[in-house]
Amino acid sequence: MHRSWFFWVAAVAMLAAMVIYVLSIDLVFRPRSRAQPPIPAGNTP
């Protein structure tokens, strides 16, 4: 199993997918230190 090239390709692809997922959501698992400012409702056309 570990000598198969397909196993290593799949393992590297899964590791890359996990890294891209964690980096793409800006490490959302840690709490945010600042709140988002509210959007004013009076600016609609």
Residue 35 lies in a domain: no
Residue 30 lies in a domain: no
Note the pLDDT of residue 10. 94
Query: How many structural domains comprise the chain?
Result: 1
Q: Could you tell me the residue range of the domain that residue 1 belongs to? A: 1-25
* pLDDT single digits (tens) 1-45: 678 999 999 999 999 988 888 777 665 655 555 666 677 776 556
Residue 42 lies in a domain: no
Residue 43 lies in a domain: no
What residues contact 7, with CB distance under 8 A and at least 6 apart?
A: 1
Note the pLDDT of residue 13. 96
